Structure 1
Amino acid sequence: MDDLINYLLQYGQLNQQQIQLILDNVTERHLKRDDYFSEAGRIPREIGFIRSGILRVCYFNNKGTEITRYFVDGNRLISDIHSMESKMPSTEYIQAITDCEMIIFSEETLRLLSSTILDWDRIIAKIRERAMVEKLDKIAPMLTEDATSRYLMFMEKFPDLANRVPLSYLASYLGITQSSLSRIRKQLSRQ
């Protein structure tokens, strides 16, 4: 679980006792491809640290079309934290698109760590702030660029995800149809 501890240490200091407290109170979980970590209509009660694999956050629009909002890969935390904190059912799904190994923080564990580790809330706040900046960096270009440019940006920013994400999910993320994505890929391969 060194990967989790190294991740947390990027955001704040933890002594050996605090590290042991964390390790004693988290659990490991394996998600198979297509399993859900969190589902719309339910109140999330966990935060996951992705040790390996890729998850996607998606929802269904008012026409019933599934929309991929973003992808999250290894060495990151994932949860619908807003729904978890507000105790409101989530409006989105978090689904494994590859097999995933995760470390799970339950609500009870989070409360324990918050009440026991002096800097825990500050560490989590820094992680949330960085995640928000990363989300905005991913979403902003998607609003202003054409489909080919969005695809090229995705390939540049996430080259290792491009071949591991199903085309239907990638097309949904880019806001285009799968046939449009195939056409773009074909045109680019000829250049």
Structure 2
Amino acid sequence: MEQLMNFFLQFGSLNPQQQELITQKAQLTHFKKGDYLSEAGKVANTVGFILEGIMRVCFYNNKGEEITRYFIDENNLLVDLVSFENRVPASEYVEAVTDCTIITFSYANWQYLMQTIVGFEIIMFKITQRALQQKIERRTPLVSEDATTRYLSFMEKYPGLINRIPLSQLASYLGITQSSLSRIRKGLS
């Protein structure tokens, strides 16, 4: 729980009683590689904080191809925010790339925290703003750079992920085929 509290405290203050309430509403959950935190077509009911492991957000395009939007690693919150907050079916999957240990909150417990802890909504607003900013920073180079540059940028920005995620998912994230990724990696070695 210390990791989660340290994360929240970057964005605002929580007194010991508020921290205890958060701890009481949290649950430690283990996900095996391939398990879903939320699935397309179903309403997202969980907010998670990754203690260990990597999750990804992905969807299937109209050709049935799997597209990885982004990866989420340790010390980050994850939720399909649109589905969770609006109680509508998700359009994407949130899937475990590796075995994961995640602190989870049910929809009911999360709503209780939002309504009970003074200032928690402001903390969540700041976290959401940062996440949106990071999303934009991650996606912008994927549109404007060539494949080799995108791969090198990914390696530079996320050195801890490169050897932990399958090449097929990395290729999907970079917007290239797995064979193209293999050629790029071979050309760089």
TM range (shorter): over 0.9
Which residue in 2 is equivalent to 1:132? 132
Which residue in 2 is equivalent to 1:64? 64
**Which 4+ runs in 1 deviate beyond 4 A?**
none
CA offset digits 1:44-63 (Å, max 9, x no partner): 01100000100010000011
The equivalences for 1:37-52 within 5 A come to 37-52=37-52
C-alpha distance in structure 1 between counterparts of 2:163 and 2:111, whole Å: 39
Alpha-carbon offset, residue 116 of structure 1: 1.1
User: How many residues are paired up?
Assistant: 189
Alpha-carbon offset, residue 88 of structure 1: 1.1
Alpha-carbon offset, residue 122 of structure 1: 0.3
- Letter of the 1:171 counterpart: A
Which residue in 2 is equivalent to 1:108? 108
Alpha-carbon offset, residue 37 of structure 1: 1.0
2:83 aligned with 1:83: yes
C-alpha distance in structure 1 between counterparts of 2:111 and 2:169, whole Å: 35
- Letter of the 2:52 counterpart: S
Identical-pair percentage: 53
The equivalences for 1:4-19 within 5 A come to 4-19=4-19
Which residue in 1 is equivalent to 2:146? 146
C-alpha distance in structure 2 between counterparts of 1:143 and 1:74, whole Å: 26
Which residue in 1 is equivalent to 2:55? 55
C-alpha distance in structure 1 between counterparts of 2:98 and 2:146, whole Å: 28
Which residue in 2 is equivalent to 1:35? 35
The equivalences for 1:112-191 within 5 A come to 112-189=112-189
Range with bigger deviation, 135-144 or 107-116: 107-116
